[in-house]
Amino acid sequence: MDASRTDIVCFSDIFWDFVWQRHQSLLTRFPEGWNILFVEPTSLVVLLKEPRRLLARKHGNITVISSPALPLTDKVSILRPVNDIFIWCWLKAMFLKHNITRPVLLYYAPRFSSLIGRLGERLATYDCADDRMAFSREPHWMGPYVENLFKKSGIVFVTSESLRKKALGYRSDNVHLIGNGVDAGLFEKAWGDVPVPDDIKWLKKPIIGYFGVIDEWMDIDLIVRMASAYPEASIVLVGPALIGPEGLQKLKSLPNVYLPGQKPHDALPGYLKAFDVCIIPFRINELTKSVNPVKLYEYLAGGKNVVTITMAEVEKYDGTIYIARDHDDFIRKTADALRNKPDADRMKAVVSENTWDSKAKAMVEIIQRSIDTHG
């Protein structure tokens, strides 16, 4: 197989222009000769509201398209198999339009898993970055779709040991742990003279900072306690707020908590430069116990002390970062992190072992080996 003519179809669970995550970080590092079709999750309703998504968008060798879906499929079970046929027909037309033949399927979105074996693919792969069914908003009917991905994919990638064990509950082989990584070149700019953004450069120091999606995994009660424990500090939470109105109102009511909103990925080093300490204030639950937090590596690349709630995937960095067992411990560890100088050498060692370049290379090698072996 000529690697220069590999077609990849990525079924995504996020929009390409949403917060830059594992999906975009890996795909933009796949070989330039690979022809990648990135299928965004959407619906006819979304397409009517945002008609720009009807148009294909090019990003180098990546073409972004938005998949339509019949309305009410979340609520009316009888519509789901009809929707599958509808999506199948649409995809076959897209394959013709974008010259896709015998593609490698790369799954993030379980709802497309019923199409495995029906698209003429040479290989189906599942990149499992989270415990999908631990999300409170994930509908119960999605469970069989997730199981289908674990069972029918030729290759399963996972980001944590917890997810590896979960995958091995469905299959006995071809499960590969490829953790999350960092664009070191981008976030190392925080060490240098990158300007601090105007919307936070006026804030009172010290700044305790976070960037990422503000969603159900964030411990709002911990943020409330932090704001009270550090009244002279500014707590900055950069990213889209997807939590419910009650949680959002709690955050907005705190006088020293600031929500600048979602920012372009390449603007984050400026915010990171302003942070005196970085935090990962997640809840401890089924969802977060399998998380390998991307922001940990980004914070470390910028040379910042990190305080995080305990998670299995961060324990190996104890001594380089500050790991808290509960709210009181988190508050104490934040004081330690503010007082102590970052251990730059240890941070750089962690970053060098966890670059997106190395993660993408490992994934590509596994995919290519399977293609070469099975055709």
**What ranges do the domains of the chain cover?**
3-181+355-374, 184-352
Superfamily of domain 3-181+355-374: Glycogen Phosphorylase B; (3.40.50.2000)
Tens of pLDDT, residues 5-41 = 799 999 999 999 989 999 999 999 999 999 999 999 8
Helix 327-339 crosses helix 220-229 at what angle (to 10 degrees)? 50
pLDDT at 72: 67
206 prior amide bond cis, ω within 30: yes
Determine the Cα–Cα distance for residues 352 and 123; give it in Å rounded to an integer.
31
Tens of pLDDT, residues 87-126 = 999 999 999 999 999 999 999 999 889 999 999 999 999 9
CB 14 within 8 A of CB 23: yes
How much of the chain, in percent, has pLDDT values that exceed 70?
97
Determine the Cα–Cα distance for residues 281 and 43; give it in Å rounded to an integer.
33
The pTM of the full predicted model, rounded to 2 decimals, is: 0.93
pLDDT at 81: 85
How much is the CA Rg of the chain, to the nearest whole Å?
A: 21
Strand order in the sheet with 175-177: 57-59, 62-66, 35-40, 7-11, 104-107, 123-128, 155-158, 175-177
DSSP 8-state symbol, 70: -
pLDDT at residue 3 greater than cutoff 60: no
Mean pLDDT for the stretch of residues 259-286? 97
Place of tokens 């240890």: 346
Tens of pLDDT, residues 346-373 = 999 999 999 999 999 999 999 999 999 8
pLDDT at residue 2 greater than cutoff 50: no
pLDDT at residue 295 greater than cutoff 50: yes
Q: What angle do CA 200, 202, 207 make, to 5 degrees?
A: 60
Instruction: Provide CATH code, domain 184-352.
Output: 3.40.50.2000
Q: Which residues pair with 324 in a beta bridge?
A: 309
3-181+355-374 and 184-352 share one fold: yes
Q: What angle do CA 224, 323, 255 make, to 5 degrees?
A: 20
Confidence band of 133 (pLDDT split at 50, 70, 90): confident
CA dihedral 167, 171, 177, 179 (to 10 degrees): -30
Give 316: exposed, middle or buried? Use CB within 10 Å, 0-12, 13-18, 19+: exposed
pLDDT at 43: 66
